[in-house]
Structure formats: C-alpha cells, structure tokens
Amino acid sequence: MNWDIVFKIDPYSVLFLWTMFEKKDLLNVPKDKLFEELLTQGWEKYRLKQLDEWLWKHAIRDFQAMSNLSKTQRAYLDEHFYIPALIESKIQTSLDGTMKFRFKLFDGPFIESVLIPVPDENRFTVCVSSQAGCSLSCTFCATGQMGLIRQLTASEIFDQYILVNKKCIEVYGKPLSNIVYMGMGEPLLNYKNVIQSIEKLTSPDGPMLSSKRITISTAGIAKMIKKLADDGLKVNLALSLHAGDDLKRNKMMAINETNNLASLIESLKYFYKKTGNRISYEYIAFDGFNDQISDAKNLIRLCSQFPVRVNIIEYNRVPGMDFTKSTEDQINRFAQEVRKHGIMITVRRSRGKDIDAACGQLANQEA
C-alpha cells in the first residue's frame, strides 16, 4: 500500500492504523489492568489516582497537560498508549437555540450530538450517539440509511457529553442537566460500551451525573431490556413505539418482526417490576398512518400495562422517505383521546429542524 497517498487522503485514519499496531487505547484499557501495568513500572498508587482524575474527572486528552505527573511518567504513557479524542468538525446553531455538533472519530467516521436548551426550565439536554450509523433501517430515519459503520467506545460516548457540556457552560453559563441516548445508533446493540459510559458519567471520579437524569432510548430489543433491568442501572427507558399494532410497526421498523409488541411489553413489565424506573413511549405521528382514533385506542391499550408517559413527536421530513407529518389539529385530537384515559401525554415540537438536528435527521449531512 502506498501510505503517502493514503495519508494525503485521510491522515487521521493512517495515524489510527499506525498507533493500533504500536500502542493501546488508554481510555479503553480496563482500569485494573492499566493500574497493574503502571505499578510494575514503579508508579506510586497516588499517581494512579492522579492519572484517573485527569482522564475522567477533568477529561484531559493530552498527556503533556497532565502536569502533576512526572516527565518520565508522561513519556511512558506517550510511548505505550494513545488517547482517541473526538475531533470537533462542525457546530451549527438553530434559530431556536438548538446546537448540532459534528465530531470526527479518531479513525475517520463522523458522528453527531445535539444540545437542546430550555433555559426557562433550567434544563439543558445533550442527545448523544452510541454508534456511527445504525443497522436497523427504520423507514422514517435518516441515520438508518447510513447502515452501521461501527460501534462507539465508552470513551467516545463519554467525550460527547464532556465537549457539549463545555460549550453549554460557555454559551448558557449552565452545565448540562440531562443526557439522552437518542442520537445515532441503537444503544442496546452497543450494550457493553453504553453501560460503561454511564458508569463513567455517574462515577464520583467523573462528572457524578444522577442516573435519574439519564435516559436510554431503544427501538425495542426485548432481551436487552431485561438485561438492563437485571444489571440494576437506575436509568430511565424510552421505547420508540410509533405504532400500537404489529402490522403498522413492521412496516416502519424491521426490528419489530423479531421483537414484536407482545415480547416488548413483557420485557418492559419486567423492567418496571425490577427497577421501578420511569418508562416512556416515543410516538412519531405520521399523517393518515398512525394518527387516527383507532391508533390512539391501540396506544391506550399498551399504556394500561404499567405506568408510562407518552411523548408525541412531530415528524421531521427526511429526503427519500414516503411519510409526511400529521397536522397540528390531528395530533391534538389524537393526544386528547389518549389523555381522556388518564395517561400522561405530551406533544413535543421539534427542535433544530433548520439544521437537521431534530429526531430522525442525524445523518452527517453537510449544510
């Protein structure tokens, strides 16, 4: 291979491939193994704590900035490890204040994160990606058209929070209050890294986020919902429902063919019984498809199984897709029918549509 040519095309990818042969990813070496290696090199235990704080409490991604480590220790880290930091590629700001971040991964692919500010309610939410692309191919989602490029590591998920939080403080003078795993990808198909990122985000040695401020959104992987319950994480769960019957859901979401509504309801019951954590349904309203009173009755039936909140979401047009959004009047009629049965339902207006940052629009499109 002519490396000179490749390097001119994508120097970051070449650097990644080279370091993969020579060095280890410091952020994804198990903590016990990392500390064991450094202790054999003569590191004092307090130095290990200093290193851990640099990486996860201060989120420093440059060995030379770790000023309380000795030059020899920094040189050792530089010789044997690399830090695959996210590279900020582009930031767009919507007319409504929503901000979309485009990050380049260390080996070349791009991902997107979204900051959704609600200053009046002192709520600042970051929507993070868990995969580069997505394998599920839901028929209304731009990300699904990309296919799955690769899984994100725990540190790449963690760093989205860190970088967006920094910008949130800079722009709004307040830190992020919530994090939702609703960006690119299916979180439960990258389970290990998602869980590890949550552990880092909630750790006393990291940002110390409350798990009650974290929501995992899934298209519906029944066995992984049960695993999430068994693992005891006190996070909130959102199911991308979008239809209250299997026939319609199959047309939109191929995953429903192997994870039908009966299996999903069973897994959600299990999750609620085991954890008591909040469950919500995300429901995008499509004109003439899933927004009729009969559809509302199907949704009501599903809401009778356990306490659940419903978020009705305005559809955001994706080029090449056949769906169109419901009218405001029809959405309101639908919501009122559900609300009559004592179900908590909220109609959420899309944020960031003018920069393709709204639900279902994340696809690394240039604007």
Q: Catalytic positions, please?
A: 112, 359
Nearest by Cα to 313 from 339, 284, 281: 284
Instruction: Give the N- to C-terminal CA distance of the chain in Å, as an integer.
Output: 34
DSSP states along 40-67: HTT--HHHHHHHHIIIIIS----GGG-T
- Determine the angle formed by the axes of helices 45-52 and 31-40, rounding to 10 degrees: 140
- Contact call for residues 314 and 331 (beta carbons, < 8 A): yes
C-alpha to C-alpha distance for 137 and 159, rounded to whole angstroms: 26
Determine the 3-state secondary structure of 131 from DSSP: strand
Which token pair is 102?
């485009």
Helix (H, G, I), strand (E, B) or coil at 325: strand
Distance CA 126, CA 201 (A): 13
Distances (CA, A) of 71 to 29, 40, 311, 324: 22, 18, 53, 60
DSSP 290-318: T-SHHHHHHHHHHHTSS--EEEEEE----
